[in-house]
Structure formats: structure tokens, C-alpha cells
Amino acid sequence: MRLAFLGDIMGRTGRTAVVQRLPDLRRDLGLDFVIINGENAAGGFGITADIARNLFDAGADCITTGNHAYDQRDDIPFFDQEERLLRPANFPKSNPGRGAGLYTAKYDARVLVIQLHGQRFMAPMDDMVPALERELEGIELGREADAIVVDVHAEATSEKYSVGHYLDGRVSLVCGSHTHVPTADAQVLPAGTAFQADAGMCGDYDSVIGMEKSVPIDSLVNKIKSGRFQPASGEATICGLVVDTDNRTGLATGIWPLRVGGRLSEALPPVG
């Protein structure tokens, strides 16, 4: 199976690029299942039902979120209505939505996607490990699920690496999101789990992690926030990664960075 994970969509320019390019990427790269982190898709803060539907129509199979999941308050009920839209599994259990889903991919393959929220340098949240084990209970890679993907939406790289090594051999992919900068550490861990500390963002990189530059720079220089953060509006780079898995075991056989368009150098996985 060939899986793709696209990093945090940042505002209109990011979601426009994804909606326009994803159908061709699915076809040209032979993608069987696509996960997108959409927590910044609505003006940089949260996601709306309409935006989620547009991403699904373009070819997303699952949308993960993170700390900005509920920023668009009028659309919070959509988390209960749409099973393909996830919020972190270690949010309080009473929160709308779900933290994991078992989905059907191409050729009836089963893909389990789990979303986690980091604990270091972020808002206080429930422990990741009990939430993770709860979602994995009764599901073994290669048996009940043909692939398992875990999105760790976290600030600390060390935390993402710890989750990756903790799950090595039990899941197909552990991928970090949230920091909006693609890391150069795509690898298959010793027991067969693909890992990358952060997939980057789908947005304009002539920016400060996706935001128009003037307000962050003014905050740096004058220590005063001079206005509202706004997503940068230049051409977006679609950033993410592609993973191939063994059809028998569900473990990764390869992982490659994906970068298309915008300012960053292009990176594509092998085809054929």
C-alpha cells in the first residue's frame, strides 16, 4: 500500500494548492490513502465543515487536526457528524469527535489513523500513552489493520521521537505535525515503522511558519503585537511524505519526503 501524509494546511493559499493538486498527485504517485492535517485551514485557525468537505472531495481520506481543532466554534458539531475528521485522542473524552478511525482504502485495505496532542510546551492535555493504547486495543498491524498511522501534533521533537520508538514495529507510520517546518529525518526505524519528526506545512514559506511576516517581526523587534496574525498569501508549497508498506505485515518498506510547488525544492517519491 502507498500512503501519503500532508502537513498542516495553512490558510487559503495552502488549501487551494492542495485541492488543485491532490487529484493529480493521487493518480501520478499511485496513492492508496491520503491523510491531511487541516487544523490551520480556516484562516490559520481551525477548520470548517465546508473546507473539510472540499478536502474530502479533492481526495483526502482522513483529516487530522490538533490544538486548533475547535477554533471555528460554529463548526465544532461537525466533529461528531464526520467520522473522517479527527481531533486528538488525548483530548478529554467528553469533547466532540473522535481521536481515531478505521477506514477503508483502495482494494478494501483497512487503515487505522490515530491523532495525538503533545504535552511538552503545549496546553495541558491528558497523557498520550493511555489514549494511544486505548485506540490500539484489539487492533494488530497486519491482522485487523493493513496499515496504522499516528499523527503526533506536538512542539517537542524529542516527544515525537519517543512516540516513534515506542511504537516501532507496531504501526506503519509515526509522523509529526504542528511546527510547520519539514524535517530532513525521514527514515524507517529498526523494527519497521516509518518516521518523520515533522511533515511541514502546506502553505507559503515566504512567511513566519505560514503567517504574513510583518506582525511576527514587529513582535520580535518591539515586543508588542501590532496586529492580527494573517496567513501569508503567496504560492504554497505542498509538504508531506509518502510511505510504502508491505501488504502482508503492514510495516514500512520505504519513506520519502514530498514537496511540490512554491519556494522549497521539489521532492517526489519514486514511481513505478
Residues with catalytic roles = 68
Q: Quick check: 7 and 177 in contact, CB under 8 A?
A: yes
Secondary structure (H, E, C), 74-120: HHCCHHHHCCCECCCCCCCCCCCCCCEEEEECHHHCEEEEEEEECCC
How far apart, in whole angstroms, are the C-alpha atoms of residue 134 and residue 244? 26
CB atoms within 10 A of CB 53: 14
How far apart, in whole angstroms, are the C-alpha atoms of residue 26 and residue 31? 5
Q: Quick check: 127 and 120 in contact, CB under 8 A?
A: no
Q: Dig out the grid coordinates for 89 from the structure.
A: 485522542
What residues contact 218, with CB distance under 8 A and at least 6 apart? 224, 225, 226, 227
What residues contact 22, with CB distance under 8 A and at least 6 apart? 6, 34, 58, 59, 60
Report how far Cα 222 is from the mean position of its chain's Cα atoms: 34
From residue 263, alpha-carbon distances to 41, 205, 237, 238 in Å are 20, 6, 7, 10
Q: Dig out the grid coordinates for 241 from the structure.
A: 511524505
Task: State the number of CA atoms in the 13 A half-sphere of 187 facing the CB.
Answer: 11
How far apart, in whole angstroms, are the C-alpha atoms of residue 103 and residue 158? 29
